[in-house]
Amino acid sequence: MKKHMTVLFVLCALLLVLSPAFAAGTKEVASGPVTLTFVETMTSPSRTTQILELIAKYEAQNPNVKINLVSPPYEQADNKLTLMLNSNQELDIIEVRDHTVKQFVNNNKLVDLTSYLKAWDQGDDLLPLTMTAAKTVNDTPYLLPQFFFVKGLFVRTDILAKHGFTTMPKTIDELYKMSIAITGKAPNQYGFGFRGKGSAFKISDILILSDVANINVDNIYKTTDGTFAFSTPAARKAVAAYVDLYKKAVPSDGINWGFNEQVNGFISGTTPFLVQDPDTVSMVAEALDPSQWTVIPMPVGASGKTYLDYGFAGLGIPTTSKHKDLAWDFISFMINAENNADFCRAYGPLPVHTSTYANDPYFSSGVYKSWEIEMSDPATYVFVKYPLDNPKYPAWAQIQEQTMQSLLLGSTTVDQAIKSWEDYWK
């Protein structure tokens, strides 16, 4: 009997040693040269350079590990990664985005990172929002977010002062009124940096639906009682106000503006109010003196709240990886508090660690102070989700854009537009 118990004890010990949870608590050591393949998807020249610098730093500390970075062109990157995963290529680290994580999990392409995060000495330092994003699917962390994109209001303070405005808008109604009042004060002077194309709904829908008091945080297009959000009286009124803003405070070609046109309008001073993400900071900072602009928290709607979505991307481990522990070692290195802060400082988005906002003045003062406020006041700045896992979501940007442009041009009424949106989501 004792012999059997001894054998059983040894077997259990071996299982413990070989388990992922145990492996997560110990660093896998490469006995010989190992190459990990890393696929990024939010590709840009400057960002890729930053990643390569982090890779060089990691390789210097781990001479037996090489990281092979694959950087497809941005427009093709998500499709390229999907094809690579579906053909079961041996990838080790992949960049997972908010709109791709559900698909990858459904196809059984991502490793559950629970045991790794539990054993990580920086796991308790992650923002609550970081863990919420990590657990987007099945309440399970299939990725470790690397950064967030959250809207803030960029303001040309010099243009406001030039036209006699000394206060900042605290509500969306004040923002609209100030934008309209500024328009026409000088030649080619308008108020608001409109977004007409390229996921324009991520600005318009926030400004409109923040007037609705009972939005469902799990689906911005529903209220807590199940009503289609745009069909509420508050939203109907807000849609009409948004159309009025376009007609009275936006250049006529603003209906076709994308990201670049928005930013150019802000930098030139044509439109001194701009709703954008923090990755815009570096572009503006290169063109303007700090005395000319700032960023403030998003104004609140009639509900007394602002509903903010949180775009994000992070790193995950494909199920086909033969070096999962080493892959996690690199991921935890790349997204540790120090490296994450350095990466976000250069790239522009928001870091994922609590300590960064507490200890790094760059992210707790200046223009980034506005995002710290938004992250720390959940009663006012309510983070909501788009219905990413709904099969109709991928086409929503185009549907909303077409209807909104028709509405702005007067070819469709507010009621007709809302009815078409409601029919679409049904």
- Report pLDDT digits (tens) over 151-198: 999 999 999 999 999 999 999 999 999 999 999 999 999 999 999 998
The closest of 211, 248, 217 to 230, measured between CA atoms, is 211
Distance of alpha carbon 233 from alpha carbon 211, whole angstroms: 10
Q: What pLDDT shows up at residue 324?
A: 98
Q: What band does 15 get if pLDDT is binned at 50, 70 and 90?
A: very low
Q: From residue 374, give the alpha-carbon distance in Å to each of 200, 355, 356.
A: 21, 16, 15
Distance of alpha carbon 262 from alpha carbon 411, whole angstroms: 24
What is the average pLDDT across 298-309?
A: 97
Query: Can you give the length of the chain in residues?
Result: 426
Contact call for residues 46 and 279 (beta carbons, < 8 A): no
Distance of alpha carbon 382 from alpha carbon 300, whole angstroms: 10
Is 278 a residue whose pLDDT tops 90? yes
Contact call for residues 108 and 317 (beta carbons, < 8 A): no
Q: What band does 74 get if pLDDT is binned at 50, 70 and 90?
A: confident
Is 11 a residue whose pLDDT tops 90? no
Residue type, 69: L
Contact call for residues 110 and 348 (beta carbons, < 8 A): no
Is 124 a residue whose pLDDT tops 70? yes
Q: Retrieve residue 343's tokens.
A: 């990466």
Q: What is the pLDDT of residues 26-40, one digit of tens each?
A: 456 666 799 999 999
Q: What pLDDT shows up at residue 19?
A: 43
Q: What pLDDT shows up at residue 303?
A: 98
Q: Where are the beta strands (DSSP E) in 218-341?
A: 219-223, 273-276, 294-296, 306-309, 311-316
Contact call for residues 194 and 275 (beta carbons, < 8 A): no
Among the ranges given (28-37, 188-197, 241-250, 280-289), the one the predictor scored with the smallest mean pLDDT: 28-37
Q: What band does 7 get if pLDDT is binned at 50, 70 and 90?
A: very low
DSSP 8-state class, residue 298: P
Sign of torsion over alpha carbons 321, 149, 136, 394? negative
Q: What band does 391 get if pLDDT is binned at 50, 70 and 90?
A: confident
Among the ranges given (4-13, 322-331, 381-390), the one the predictor scored with the smallest mean pLDDT: 4-13
Distance of alpha carbon 312 from alpha carbon 331, whole angstroms: 16
Between residues 389 and 9, which one has the greater pLDDT? 389
Which residue segments constitute the domains of the chain, with CATH numbers given?
28-148+312-352 (3.40.190.10), 152-309+370-425 (3.40.190.10)
Provide the 3-class DSSP secondary structure of residue 68: strand
Q: Retrieve residue 40's tokens.
A: 């990024």
Q: Is 241 exposed, middle or buried (0-12, 13-18, 19+ CB in 10 A)?
A: middle
Beta-bridge partners for 228: 222
Beta-bridge partners for 170: none
What is the average pLDDT across 234-242?
A: 98
Is 360 a residue whose pLDDT tops 80? yes
Q: Around 78, how many Cα atoms within 13 Å sit in the side-chain half-sphere?
A: 11
Q: Where are the beta strands (DSSP E) in 141-211?
A: 144-149, 152-155
Q: Retrieve residue 160's tokens.
A: 């406001």
